[in-house]
Amino acid sequence: MSTLTIARPDDWHLHLRDGAMMRAVLPHSAQHFARAIIMPNLVPPVVTSAQAMAYRDRILAALPEGMAFEPLMTLYLTEDTDPDDVAAAHASGLVKAVKLYPAGATTNSASGVADFGKIRATLDRMADIGLPLCVHGEVTDADIDIFDREAVFIDRVLDPLRRATPGLRVVMEHITTSDAVDYARAQGDDLGATITVQHLMLDRNHMLVGGIRPHYYCLPILKRGSHRAALVAAATGTDTRFFLGTDSAPHATDTKENACGCAGCFTAPIALSCIAELFDEAGALDRLEAFTSLNGPAFYGLPPNTEQITLTKGAPIIIPDPVPTDSGTVTVFDPGRPVHWQVQ
């Protein structure tokens, strides 16, 4: 097969940032994706419905003429979040999910949750109204090895939290381990899981053998190859609870190529090319559309997009040049191997 036409994809986990950075990266998502769940980890974070509405307006104002893109807004859950504000934001249609960052887990997560008892009322309300909770699933305890933080989170935090809040719809975001895949597979349809481009294409050897590659550093960190294999099997299989969330996370190149480099891979421009390459390799092109365009809307209770896109297979694509912004360039993710699929 050298041409593939599918319903237009959505991105169920995207960092657009704000200001000039947002204006620079937004077209790279809008050219391929119809909608995206917009992460709220700005500085300061998007905590209230008023902040989410203002952020949504800034995104729409930054969209180039003639491009269509629907930002699906999220609220950043804090210990002071007001359940009534969350419920109103959901009722108005503005907000499609609430994001849980354990305090200190990743980029701009300092305002996240340390005492889970303090978010109980909000979680109960979300379960009542059917508003999904998107979870960055890593513990932050200093004594837990960074490679174990996702698996420990499932046991110590995620499973108890779900048991204490029956009916809460949860997205396990950017899963990176076979532990997460196994957990997700064993749950009902109130649980979904997103998988990124980089975690499907790379393992930790790609990041660390023969030199350290800062553009492969993201959180949760890349794991060993057996975990990657479990993620590929989940994404390319028939279980509809797995869907694409790129976690495309732009940082200026000099803050990545740095003695203390930032976490995040800027994958938006080539995300669909990479995903098509993977599904092709796995002999699963017939299931690509489910992963990129059908399973996500089904979980969020939204219709799939009626527009279509076509991908074609040809000579290896050229990785796009770094994207200029007012704070330096942003380097585009390069998987380090040929990618033959291109969005028309």
Residue 113 bridge partners (DSSP): 102
Pick from 10, 70, 179, 247: which binds ligand NCD (CB under 6 A)?
247
Three-state DSSP at 7 gives strand
Check if the beta carbon of residue 343 is closer than 8 Å to that of residue 32: yes
Residues 6+ apart with CB under 8 A from 119: 77, 79, 81, 100, 113
DSSP-based three-state secondary structure for 208: helix
- The distance of closest approach from Cβ of residue 160 to ligand NCD in the complex, given in angstroms and rounded to an integer, is 22
Q: Whole-number minimum distance, CB 21 to ligand NCD, in Å?
A: 11
Q: Between 182 and 221, how does the x/- string for binding to Zn ion read (CB under 5 A)?
A: ----------------------------------------
Nearer to ligand NCD, 47 or 285 (CB): 47
Strands (E), 8-92: 11-14, 35-38, 70-76
Residue 52 vs 311, nearer CB to Zn ion? 52
Which residues inside 219-248 make contact with Zn ion, applying CB under 5 A? Answer: 247
# chain residues binding ligand NCD, by CB under 6 A = 11
Of 11, 15, 171, 230, which lies in the binding site for ligand NCD, with binding defined by CB under 6 A?
A: 15
Q: Which string of DSSP letters, residue by residue, matches 316-340?
A: PPPPPPPEEEBTEEEPPP--SS---
For ligand NCD, the binding residue among 26, 36, 41, 197 (CB under 6 A) is: 41
Residue 304: name the closest of 289, 288, 322, 315 by CA.
289
Amino acid (1-letter code) at residue 183? Y
Active site residue 247: yes
What is the footprint of ligand NCD within residues 99-128 (CB under 6 A)?
A: 106-107
* Beta-strand relationship, 308-313 and 341-343: antiparallel
- Per-residue DSSP letter, 304: P
Residue whose CB is less far from ligand NCD, 132 or 264: 264
Pattern 209-238, ligand NCD, x by CB under 6 A? ---------xx-------------------
d(CA 273, CA 277): 6
Q: Which of 247, 254, 321, 334 is catalytic?
A: 247
In one-letter notation, the amino acid at residue 38 is I
Binding string, residues 255-294; x marks residues near ligand NCD by CB under 6 A: --------xx------------------------------
Residue 71's beta-bridge partner residues? 36
Q: Which residues contact ligand NCD by CB under 6 A? A: 15, 41, 106-107, 136, 218-219, 247, 249, 263-264
**Residues noted as catalytic:** 247
Q: Which residues contact Zn ion by CB under 5 A? A: 247
